[in-house]
Amino acid sequence: SVELWHDRAVFHFLTDAADRQRYIEVLKQTLRPAGHLIISTFGPKAPPKCCNLPVMRYTSESLSQEFGEGFQLQSVREETHMTPTGVPQQFIYCRFRMKEGSGKNSARSGESADR
């Protein structure tokens, strides 16, 4: 298990709801109770494709809905990234904290981190 999960550019490529649900299940199995999720996704003003692949675009509210009540939004940052070809891409960065008892590792919360 880990205390920090950092996703810089994966989640927005998961355009199928079942794939996103599986991602969240793995996240909950891996992240320690009270652990942090830092996720970067395309914002709502970003292009609908990246590298000719369709992408999902999010707001902090829609990301909060995706991850559910087990994750509390801690902070949000937005920025516009310019690609090498000069195309602006809106990014949103969110930091969430997993609530105690929300993950699959919650029963192990009292165990030592030395495994």
Residue 97: give its domain's CATH number. Answer: 3.40.50.150
Inside any domain, residue 110: no
pTM of the entire predicted model = 0.85
Q: Domain total for the chain?
A: 1
Inside any domain, residue 113: no
What confidence tens digit (pLDDT) does each residue in 23-65 have? 999 999 999 999 999 999 999 999 999 989 999 999 999 999 9
Inside any domain, residue 71: yes
- CB burial readout 77-112, b (16+ within 10 A) else e: eeeeeeeeeeeebbbbbbbbbbeeebbebbeeeeee
Banded model confidence at residue 105, pLDDT cuts 50, 70, 90: low
| Structural domain harbouring 35 | 2-103
Summary mean pLDDT of the chain: 90
Is 90 exceeded by the pLDDT of residue 106?
no
Inside any domain, residue 112: no
